[in-house]
Every structure is written in C-alpha cells, then in structure tokens.
Structure 1
Amino acid sequence: MTGSVLEVRVGTRLWFDGECWAVCEVRGTSVRLQGDGGRYRTAAVTDLLEGASGLDPDSHAVDAVQRDLLSAIGLESLTLKQRTRLEAEVEIFAELLAVRGADEAPARMRSAATKLGLSLRTVQRRLRRFDELGPAGLIDERLLKDTRRSVDPRWDDACTEVLSRYTNRSTPSQQTVIRETNRVFLESVPDGVVPTRSVAYERVVELDAGRHTFGDAPRRRSVAKRPQGVLGQLRPNRPGEYVLMDGYKLDVFAMEPVTMRWVNTELTLAMDLYDRSVKGLRLRPVAAKSADVASVLLQCLTPQQWGRRPDSPSGPYAGVPEHVVLGSVGVFPDTIVIDHGKVYLSEHTMGVCRRLGISVQPAIPDKPTDKPALERFFKSLRLSLLDKLSGYKGPNIASRGKDVEQGAFYYVTELEDLIREWVGDVYHLRAHRGLRDPLLPKVDLSPQEMFNRGIEFSGLLRLPAAEDLRYELMEVQWRKIHHYGVDIDGRRYDGPGLNTYRARRSDYGGAHAGKWPILVDVDDVRAVYFQDPADKRWHRLEWRLATGINAPFSKDAADYTRRISIAEHRHVDPQQAVEDLLVRWGREEVMGRRERNLAIRLATQPSSHAFDDDEVTDRASLPGVIDLLTARQTRQAAPPQHPDDLDVFERYYAEHPDSEVLEVFDE
C-alpha cells in the first residue's frame, strides 16, 4: 500500500460509512465486508472510492505537507533549472528502488549519496518519499511553504478596510490611503511596525486590484455592486425564452424641430438573451413613459424592419416571448426581465404581459449584473455609432467636450432611424465573442447566425395568433355609450361604430357591469377605439375637439392643457393650448419642468396627416443635418416682439411735438 493507492484485498481493514470493517471477499464490482459482532454487508466498489480509507499503519506514512499538495502542482511550481535537476535525481532513485533488498544495495546507496552531495541518512529518507509519492517526493520542502511577507497582515486588513470606505466617496490619492491606513493600524496595534514608503505603495496597488479606488468613481461603484461568490446567470435554450428590457440615457444631444433647442433622450430597448438580437427600440426625448415600453413590447410581437429604406434588412422573427426580464427579433418572449422603474412596473406594462401570457421577472435593484447583455449593448452602441455623431457628449462629465450641444444636428426621429439602421446593417451581422455554438466553441457567431442555430435546434415558434395585438397594448376605459358618444376624462368621442349601441347597456358584468370597454392610446388621445361585439370589428372614435391638431396629442398633454385652462378661467381649445405651450417654450417662458418636457415631446412627434406618395418620398429624403447657424441668424434678424420701455418717450414726442420736455432726475 502506498500513500496514493488503497489496496483492497482479503484481510484489509477499512474505515467506511462511520464504522470499521474487514474485507472478507472481493468480487468483480463489489466487496464483502465484515464488521464487529459478526455483521456483514456488501459495498459497491464505486462507494468505496468515495468514502473508504485504510486503517493499516502504513497507510499514514505520507508526509502531511506532501499529502496536502497535488503532485502536478508541486512539479509545475519548479523552474526549468529545478525541473532538470529533479529529473536527474529521479533516475538515480529509480535505480536504487530497483536494487532494494539486494546485496549491492548498500554500496549503491553510498555511491548515490556521494554523487548527490547528501548524507546517507538523507538519501534513505528521500528514497522512502520517492517510493510513496513518486517524483513529487523529491521536491524541496521549502518550495511548498507559503512565502513570508515583510508587511504585517494586520496592516493589510487595515488597508482593505480603508479602501472599502472610498466606494461611494470621491477618488483619493494613494498617499491619503496610506496615511489613513497607518493611523488605523497603529490605533489597533500600538507597537506595530508600518511598512516603508515604497513597500506601502506596492501593497496599496496590490490590495486595490479590482476595486478601482484610484480610478473613475462610477466604475468603482459599479464594481462594488457585483454579487460576491459564484455568479449565476439565466441560461436560455432557444430564441424568445428570455427578453431583457431596460432604458439608457443616450450620450448624444438631439434637436427638437420647433425651438431648435438641444434635448436629452432616453432609449428603451428589448433584447433576446439567447442570440443578443434587438427585438425593438424606442427613442423618447427627456424620459421614457409606460406607453414607450408598451410600444417596444409590440415591436417584440411583430417582425421589424431596421431602416426606412425599402431594402432595409428585417430582423429574425420567431414569435411571442415567453419570459420578459425587466431593469427572431420578433420572437414572442416567454419571460421579460425588467428594471424597477415606474414605467416598467406600471399597471399598463404588467397588464399587457398578463393578457399575453408573458411572465415578468424584475431585476434586482441597483444590480447592473442582472442585465449584462444590455449593458454591453449600450457600450457597443456608444463606441460603434454614437461617438461618431455630432452632439456626442460622452458617458460622463469628464469626457464631455466644450459646447457639444451646439453640434446637436439630428432630430429625435432621425436619431432613432439612424440607430435602427445601425442595428440592422451592423449589429445583427457582426460576430460577438459571447455567442458561440457548444459544438464549435472557437467560432464567434453573429446574432443572426445564433438565431438561425437556435430555431433549427429548438424547432419551436410561439407566433401571435391574433391580428389585433396593438389593441392589447392600449389602456382600457369603461364608459357608458350615450346618444352623443362617450366621455373620457372630459373629452367627448363619437363615430359611426357606436350607432347600434347608443344608450344601450352592455352585457359585461363584474366591476364595470353595464359599461362598454373603450381602448385609449395614452400617447395619442385624438381618437379611441371600440370593438363591435357582434362582428369583432374595431372602430375609430374621433375626439370632437381634435380638429386642427396635426400631431399626436398625449394624455398627459391633454390633462395639462385642461388644468392650465381652468386656472386661467377660459374654455379648452386644444390646438391653441398646444400652440401657446410651444410659443412659451420658444420664449423661455415655460412655467415648470413638466410643461417643458411636454413641449419637447409634442414638438418631436411627427404629423399624422395623410401624405401622398411624393410627400412621403420628400419627407424620407430630408437631410439629417440641420443648419443651426442659419436658423439662429433668421431668429436674430426678426424684429423684437417686445419693444424696450425707453421707446415710450420716443413715441410720445413723435405724437406730441409741441409738448414740454420732461426732465429726468437720477437719484
């Protein structure tokens, strides 16, 4: 029996399953054991491999240090010179083992001691270790011990504690950290010895590895949020199983067309975790709303074309997602992982997912590692596209140039079209290091190739069965149908589709018994939608006061104009209210932040009037760059709308030339 082999034969004593046993019979795949009191049991050989240990005295002959160290680790820790010397010693001790017990063994032992420059007793001890451990038994024991440091371990503990204090604080200098560490160390160990200046700097750098205490503060805080221990991850098996959703403050200033002012934008995006393909995106000035999340969900359910050109590529479409993780380009998701923002956890978003059979899985708050694929996509978008655009402001203040907003030459809608074209022409066709087939681990795949591979292997498509999915994403309002139509939040809607059901009670029961469901697009309240229960056809009901509003009018804008009108004691005129709002925005007379954001949103929404083919072509061919200097010169050349107060005197003397001159005193 050697230290690394347990020989099981008849008579061998074993410790197995908490008891002492003696081997009485050895079979092909099992061993018959005899215990105290004449008890017998049969154990499989595989069970002995996992839990049996020898009780014979020679089974414990291995040195404790060597037993704790694998032979491979010990051999790999040697330098080339040490390895060459060890191989020469192995040849000598192998010859000694071959003649062990022979008459010539003592003479060969003395000859080996002379050749190696060792004493005879040392050679005998090393021969015994070589017999038990093989070549690893000849390794110098000093190489197996831990390296002793000149720095007190308690100083290292104090330094680690000080470094952790700066996670959410401003970036310090190394000198500051060393001085604070010395103070903390000497307070706990008054007789301790602090390291020298050069050694302290080396230890601080070594202990700060991975913390970024002396780097960027945002990166330091992000690294600190990483979960400790083994990192778990979602493992999708097919396209559409998990869809990630999150919002991202775009690092580019955009232009709103009415006032020619720069605005910040937020990109709401959905991504398939299996193939990293983009399912849908929506760019919104200022901040995203729940309607934008619903719009992105709708894009997940329908095939998408990435670009406004007729030959623009369309994304891979696989159907309905199963899971949506909140924060096939058309696969219907099984689960959505979302963010904890209000727009993601709103009743609008949650209700849509419930009606479509999509499970919602909120990510852990303040944990970017829950959606790493999206975070990596946003970085790729910034490095591949955004930093090449006019108006790029960088990821943080330290990266921002001077007056970068002066270069914001893209409308919000144009910027969204540009991102969509980049997704279809570049991102979906570019190889990703994180996308690999297990059968071809060294070949990087693109999202399009990974999607094709997933569909072929899974053979599953969850396609939407209804053609009216867009209505599932709208808000439901229960109202009575009067002879004049329906009233929703003070707005009156009517249309031919209500003729059969005017002043009639509905057959719906429950909490809204007798009322009719009216679907409202909160992003455009100029019209609502009613489904005829007889033929299941949808009818558009127009807002009576929407005549003249040539752009989408959101529910927030309608509620705001109504409140302003009531405050000013005048009737509601939606078109005039919107125009007044935009004029005040242009004159920098906006009353508050909410009104300012509404003006930006309304200004960036395209007109909904019908256009003929020529007009559509003209709109599509508008240049993506706006001549901001020309616009400013035009505005500066225009006559002032408010004359200066000093002009009153000039007009007075012009109208009364014979009047006495007024004398002005300066106090």
Structure 2
Amino acid sequence: MSENRIEISVGDMVLTDDGTAVVLHLDRTGVQLRDVRGSVHDVSWLDLTNIDPVAPSPGTKDPAALRSFAEAWGRLSTEARDEAMFRLGVVLEVVTGFRHGHPQLALPGEPSTAFDPASGLSVTARCERMAALLRHESSTSRIGDRDFSKTSGRLLLLWVNAWSRDGLIGLVDGRRAKTVEVFSTIPLAWRQAAHEVVSQFDGDVSTVSFREVRRRIHARLRELGHEVEAPQRASGRYVSHLMSRRGATTRAQRSNKLRGVAGSQSYPAMIPGQVVAIDVTRADVMVWCPDRNGACSVEIITAICLATRAILALRVVPMSADAHDAAMLMYDVMRPFSMLVDGTTVTDWAWAGVPQQIEFYADAPDAHPSCSGVEVTCPRTCRSARVAPGLQGEHMVPGVRPAAVRADHGSIFVSQVFRDLLGRFGVDAAYSRTRRPIDNGILERWHETVQRGLQQLPGYKGRNPSQRGRTVGLPGSHRDEPLLTAHELERFLRRWVALDYHRTPHSGLHRPGAERVDLTPIELFDALLKLSGRLHVPQRPDLIYDFLPQRWGTVGPAGVEFADLVYDSQHLNGLRAVPVGTFRPEDRAMPFVYDPHDVTRVWFRHPETRRIVEVPWRKAHLTQAPLTEVLAQHVRSEVRRRPGGTFLSATAIEDEIVKELGSLVDGVVPKDWKKRVSAARLRFESSRRDHTEADVAMTVAEVVAAAPAPVPEPSTGDDDLGIWADSWPFRPPEPSDPDSW
C-alpha cells in the first residue's frame, strides 16, 4: 500500500476513536461513514491516513483510519494494539451481536442468537454468556497467547463501560499504553504561535472554543509565513493543556494573570486596628418596608480589624450604599460600644467613649482651627476589650483609630468624599487590585460567616436563586413570622456579633511560634494590646460632625442658601455681615457641614464658643417626609427637563397634562417611587438617630462638665471594670419606639 494513496471502497472498515466504522459512500470530497452506534458522518480525504495496525481477522486487509485516531494508535506497541483489537471484537459482539459491529461485515453465523440484542437479554447477561464461552474455549485450546480461564462477566462489563466512555483507546491495557503526551512531535513554530494566541485570554477577552483557538493558531501561522503541520491529536491536547493553565473561565484567567504579582506572605498586622478592612454585601434576608408595604432588600456594610478579626462597626443601609454610609461606618469604627445583657434583656450597642470630664474648646480655642479639624483635647485610651465570661454582663466592641483602610475599588470607597475623610484623619487608603477580591479576602470570608446569623431570621433567601424558597418575602405565608425592618435587622446583627461571633473561636487566629489554641477575636485583641500598649482614640460628643462633608456659604440677612434651600437660625446673628477674610481670604463665606441623608438642617462650629450649632431649613416645619439630597436633586432635574422652563402658566400645565399624560396621577408619580421612598426613609431615620445620639451626648457632657469633678477611685489594675479608663458608657434609655430618639 502506497504511503500517500488510500485504497478504500464501499463496505470497507475504517478505524476511528470509537472503534470501527463502515464506508457507506465515496465521492471526491471524502467518504461517508457509519459507526457502530448508527451515527452517520462525513469525513474528508485529508482526515484519512494509512496505518499499519493489527488486522481484525486473518485475510482482512489493513483498514484505513482517521488521522486523529491514528496518531495515538501508532504510538502503541504491537502487543497493546493486538490486545485492544481482541477486546474490541468481544465488546462489539456483546453489544451488537457482530464481531466487527456492522451487519455488512458479518462473519458466518452472525448475528449469534446468544448475543443478539433483539433477544431481550441485558448487557450484563450477555457479558456472563461471553465470559462462559471464553472460559470454555480457553480450556479446550488457548486463544493465541491469552488465558481466559478466569474471565468473569464483571470484567467484560468493565470492558463495555470503558469502550462506551473512551472508545477503542479505552480498551488498551494501561500498563502497555504510553501515559505521557509527546508534545515534541509538534513543530516549534506551531507551539510558539499557540502560546501567542492563548496568551490573549487574560480575562478581558471572551473565552472561545478549542476549535476557534486552533483556527486562530493556523491564521497566525499564515500571517508569519510558516507552512507547518502538527499532528491533530497531539496539537489538540497541547491547546487543551495551554487553555487549562490559562483558565477555563474569564474569572479564572484574571486570577491566573494576577497571581504573578501576588504576595506569598500575610500582612504583618500586630496592632489592633492598624489596618481595617471595609466592604459592602447584599443582605441575604428580606426586610419589611413600611413605605412600600412589602418586602425589600438591603445591604450590610462592615469594618473588620485585620489583625484580630474583630468586627469594629456594622450598619444596614439601603441598596446601594453611598459614600456617606461609608463615612458613618468610619465614625462607628472610632467609637467604642458596649452591650449589656441582664437576664433576658439585651440592649443595643451603646457609645461607651464619652469622657466624664470634657475640656471644651472655649477653654482651648486653638484646638480646632476649623470645623473640619480632627485634633482632640481629650483622647480616650483603650486598655482592654474583655467581655463577660458568660452571656450575662457587659460585652465590649472596641473602637480604634486605624492607620490604613483596605477596600476594593467600589465607587463609594474611591469617591472624593471618602478619600477627603480619610485624609482629614491621616488614614491611608490601601485599595485592592482591580478585579482581585482575594486581596480583601478577610471581608469576603466574613460575608460567608454572617450567613450563620442571617439564617436564623424569617425571610432568609439563600446565597443564590437555587437556594431561594417560593414564599420568601411573604410574611405569614407558611409560617406566622413577620419580617424584620432594616433597623431591627441592624440591631440583630450587632447583637449576634457581640454575643456570638466575638465569643466564637476563629480558625484564622493563631499565636506565632506557639502550639495551636482556639482564640476568639476579642481574646486576640486583648493579647495584642499587651504588645502595642494603650490605643489612643479621639472621643468627643460632637465627633460625628468631623465625618460630615463641608460646604462654604455666605450668611446674609435671610440666612445661608445651599442648593436653593435657605437655612436660618438665631445663632447666625453676628455672623451675617462679617468682613472679607474672616474665615477664608477670598470672601465672607464660612464653613458648614451637612448630612446628605438629611438636608433639613446644616451645622457649623461657632467661632466664639467652638461648639457645634444646628441651623434648620426655614421650611423644615412644613414637612414630615424624608427630604434627602437625592430627592431634592431629582425634583430639580425634573423641573429642568420640562419643555416650558421653570415658570409655567396654569393653562399650559393643564394642556401639557392632557396632551402628554391624559391623567395627572400617571405622570406625576415616578415608576420607581417605592424604591426611592424606601431608601430615602431608611437613610433619613438612620441620620436622625446618629444626630440625636450626638445631641444627647453633648447635652450630658455639658451637665457633667458643670458638676464638681468626682474623686477618682484607686486603680485596681487588671480588675478595672470597662474597657476605656475614665470613660462614661453613654447608654440612653431605650423607648418602646427605637426610632423616636
């Protein structure tokens, strides 16, 4: 047989990956084959080749074969191919009733009634019959050099399964087959082109099929002017090898690309609060929204100490969190909290950092050059974070002044508002690499840990749609359990952190150079305090106003105006006509701070008393609805988009309503009004609670400062109660309505 000429005719056998195939038709483009499973497919002449395999039976000419199969088949030894072909004949006779698998190639006496599939016998029963036949023939005369005296039906069934799974190659004895792919048979130019093509898949380019990768490799070779061919099977496995190293998905490709610059050691954080990681995640539990009269989703924003895994702050915010939510989280990070368990009564987190004696700014006028200053005259020192040995007693949540904050590239963390806040406090921003969530892996792991608490609540909806129940968000549908509101969810999570998470051993906490012991986050926090000493944390009743954004406004006879809203108060008397350069050189403007979630008032630090003064909106008494900066901006944008401009006559408005809408209600209410009102009210009520807490703290501090200083009791060392020396745990009484203060 000539090397370059294939002699084949209709009815001949062709070896394929699946075993044998019979030729049905020939034409100038190729041949049509039918395999033993009955599938018919066309094969071009270029995909056929001559090999020197084992003839299936004496007197039969050597069959042609597919190139993809011939490459692997040709690397096998003669003994391995001999044995595989014999096993193939046994398997095909069991499965089809014909030794070669096709009626066109039937031997005398086929199909055998003992193995005919039409007889109704199962494959297992036919394997048992074939095993008995082989044992009988082996006892009378050896079949070649093979001994089948101990052949069982189970062994033949394993052959059938291997053939069904891997084709003819699956019947090759593993001890005889080569287990290492010979990539050396692939030309060097072809491998270089493959590397160039596969290297393009770095996570930014969509992944394509292996067939498309091979096409691009051939196109690349053509561009380079290389006329090289590679064995089809070996080159296919080589491409598969390169793609598996690159990553099967775009996410895996990005991870593999960034792995080259990844560190091999953990960050050496040995000081509590040295680095604080913050992130936002969706709360996998539905909450009840009174404004929408239905269930809605919220987010959880958390700050965790990198060294101790202690949760320093946690808030529940609307979807999606904004930069002010991140600023208020940093406000909570710097405040120590305590929680009291008395019997079955559990209080909310209470600010425990208001000092007994406040040195007011009137006594130290140079301490705060502006309302955005962060210098403090009475810092607090953290000595211990011990908790009650059991559930009963006081549980502490430490407050720290971080040296750095680790966050991802979320818009709220890279915003100018948040970056300015960190700059005012001298906190470095350590952002993780783009599309590299593992850089902030501690927070990502916390998002999985908090599921243990969320799963205790009604309305839990699972981590993904496959875990979600049909009645999620429908209170009382199958269980008479109402959903929690957003504020109630926040109180529950804070309770769970202080009583459960902080008191549970953490698998990621170890003592370097010592035997492994179970450590809780609070225990490690105290242990590291022995190394770092006391932590100085600024504590003032008006600390919240250092975390609010600042605006400059000129005070006139009617007050000060911001975004078309006029604010006025008697406290502005004496500041309505100050000379130019009083607060900044270029004009008469003075600094104010504002809350983006509650624009019904602004604040400023009085230049004489150095105390924070509230300036309300002139029309704040006319509305009880939440008025946020987002809603105010929405109203202004709607007015600007009106075709008639800012001022419209009554007739023009009526005509526009009839012409464009037909109904007044359909045109006025936005389609997403429920979502806007829900998020606005949640943020508004949260801001009200924060500022009310600060107002109460400042009032109490004034009363304490006016009272005679108490005689301090002698220190008892490690037996000191509380976690902050000379600190007064501010715990306002909890009314029946938690939103009323």
Fold match by TM threshold 0.5: yes
Q: Provide the rounded CA distance (Å) in 2 between the counterparts of 1:540 and 1:362.
A: 35
Which letter maps to 1:234?
A: Y
SS in 2 for 1:360: strand
- Which one of the candidate residues 407, 421, 429 is aligned to 1:338? 407
Partner residue of 1:301? 334
Partner residue of 1:663? none
Q: Provide the rounded CA distance (Å) in 2 between the counterparts of 1:316 and 1:491.
A: 36
Partner residue of 2:272? 239
Q: Provide the rounded CA distance (Å) in 2 between the counterparts of 1:557 and 1:468.
A: 27
Which letter maps to 1:385?
A: G
Q: Provide the rounded CA distance (Å) in 1 between the counterparts of 2:466 and 2:206.
A: 14
Q: Provide the rounded CA distance (Å) in 2 between the counterparts of 1:386 and 1:210.
A: 37
Name structure 2 gaps, 5 residues minimum.
Answer: 1-176, 222-227, 354-378, 383-396, 476-481, 649-662, 697-730
Displacement after TM superposition at 1:329 (Å) = 3.4
Q: Is the 8 A contact 1:319 1:330 kept in 2?
A: no
Deviation sequence 1:401-457 (CA, Å, 0-9, x none): 445343592322222222222211211111111111114341131110110011111
Which letter maps to 2:405?
A: I
Q: Provide the rounded CA distance (Å) in 2 between the counterparts of 1:316 and 1:367.
A: 37
Distance 1:181 1:517, change over 3 A: closer
**1:352 and 2:431 aligned:** no
Q: Is the 8 A contact 1:277 1:428 kept in 2?
A: yes
Partner residue of 1:447? 521
Distance 1:617 1:313, change over 3 A: closer
- Which one of the candidate residues 678, 691, 698 is aligned to 1:600? 678
Q: Provide the rounded CA distance (Å) in 2 between the counterparts of 1:548 and 1:148.
A: 86
Partner residue of 1:513? 587
- Which one of the candidate residues 615, 619, 628 is aligned to 2:737? 619
Q: Is the 8 A contact 1:293 1:344 kept in 2?
A: yes
SS in 2 for 1:343: helix
Distance 1:251 1:467, change over 3 A: same
Displacement after TM superposition at 1:552 (Å) = 4.7
Displacement after TM superposition at 1:391 (Å) = 3.2
Q: Is the 8 A contact 2:299 2:320 kept in 1?
A: yes
- Which one of the candidate residues 472, 484, 494 is aligned to 2:546? 472
- Which one of the candidate residues 551, 571, 574 is aligned to 1:500? 574
Q: Provide the rounded CA distance (Å) in 2 between the counterparts of 1:424 and 1:587.
A: 48
**1:427 and 2:505 aligned:** no
Question: Where in structure 2 are the equivalents of 1:42-121 lying within 5 Å?
Answer: none
Partner residue of 1:281? 314
SS in 2 for 1:413: helix
Distance 1:426 1:206, change over 3 A: farther
- Which one of the candidate residues 355, 358, 371 is aligned to 2:440? 371
Partner residue of 1:385? 453
Question: Where in structure 2 are the equivalents of 1:391-406 lying within 5 Å?
Answer: 391-402=459-470, 404-406=472-474
Q: Provide the rounded CA distance (Å) in 2 between the counterparts of 1:449 and 1:210.
A: 43
SS in 1 for 2:603: strand
Distance 1:151 1:281, change over 3 A: same
Q: Provide the rounded CA distance (Å) in 2 between the counterparts of 1:205 and 1:406.
A: 50
- Which one of the candidate residues 535, 545, 555 is aligned to 2:619? 545
Q: Provide the rounded CA distance (Å) in 2 between the counterparts of 1:421 and 1:161.
A: 54
Q: Is the 8 A contact 1:155 1:182 kept in 2?
A: no
Q: Provide the rounded CA distance (Å) in 1 between the counterparts of 2:667 and 2:283.
A: 24
Displacement after TM superposition at 1:561 (Å) = 3.0
Q: Is the 8 A contact 1:280 1:329 kept in 2?
A: no
Q: Provide the rounded CA distance (Å) in 1 between the counterparts of 2:462 and 2:196.
A: 32
Q: Provide the rounded CA distance (Å) in 1 between the counterparts of 2:546 and 2:429.
A: 16
Q: Provide the rounded CA distance (Å) in 2 between the counterparts of 1:316 and 1:439.
A: 35
- Which one of the candidate residues 186, 194, 211 is aligned to 2:233? 194
Q: Is the 8 A contact 1:253 1:263 kept in 2?
A: yes
Displacement after TM superposition at 1:275 (Å) = 0.7
Q: Provide the rounded CA distance (Å) in 2 between the counterparts of 1:166 and 1:364.
A: 15
Which letter maps to 1:386?
A: L
Question: Where in structure 2 are the equivalents of 1:533-572 lying within 5 Å?
Answer: 533-550=607-624, 552-564=626-638, 567=642
Partner residue of 2:283? 250
Deviation sequence 1:575-608 (CA, Å, 0-9, x none): xxxxxxxxx9x99975365x55432212434395
- Which one of the candidate residues 298, 302, 306 is aligned to 1:269? 302
Partner residue of 2:142? none
Q: Is the 8 A contact 2:202 2:257 kept in 1?
A: no
Displacement after TM superposition at 1:362 (Å) = 2.3
Question: Where in structure 2 are the equivalents of 1:22-37 lying within 5 Å?
Answer: none
Using CA pairs below 8 Å that are at least 6 residues apart, which structure has the higher relative contact order? 2
Deviation sequence 1:473-500 (CA, Å, 0-9, x none): 1121212222222112111112221123
Displacement after TM superposition at 1:334 (Å) = 0.8
Which letter maps to 1:359?
A: D
Q: Is the 8 A contact 1:256 1:603 kept in 2?
A: no
Distance 1:186 1:529, change over 3 A: closer
Q: Provide the rounded CA distance (Å) in 1 between the counterparts of 2:339 and 2:196.
A: 50
Q: Provide the rounded CA distance (Å) in 1 between the counterparts of 2:469 and 2:556.
A: 59
More divergent stretch after superposition (395-404 vs 424-433)? 395-404
SS in 2 for 1:487: strand
**1:152 and 2:182 aligned:** yes
Distance 1:279 1:363, change over 3 A: same
Displacement after TM superposition at 1:551 (Å) = 5.5
Displacement after TM superposition at 1:400 (Å) = 3.8
After TM superposition, the score normalised by the length of structure 1 is 0.56
Q: Is the 8 A contact 1:479 1:518 kept in 2?
A: yes
- Which one of the candidate residues 591, 612, 628 is aligned to 2:670? 591
Distance 1:485 1:264, change over 3 A: same
Q: Percent sequence identity over matched residues? A: 23
More divergent stretch after superposition (287-296 vs 500-509)? 500-509
Displacement after TM superposition at 1:307 (Å) = 8.9
**1:290 and 2:323 aligned:** yes
Deviation sequence 1:103-123 (CA, Å, 0-9, x none): xxxxxxxxxxxxxxxxxxxxx
**1:458 and 2:532 aligned:** yes
Name structure 1 gaps, 5 residues minimum.
Answer: 1-146, 322-327, 572-583, 623-667
Q: Is the 8 A contact 1:279 1:299 kept in 2?
A: yes
Distance 1:540 1:190, change over 3 A: same
Instruction: Give the root-mean-square deviation of aligned CA atoms.
Output: 4.6
Q: Provide the rounded CA distance (Å) in 2 between the counterparts of 1:210 and 1:502.
A: 67
Displacement after TM superposition at 1:550 (Å) = 3.4
Partner residue of 2:154? none
Q: Provide the rounded CA distance (Å) in 1 between the counterparts of 2:200 and 2:453.
A: 36
Aligned length: 444
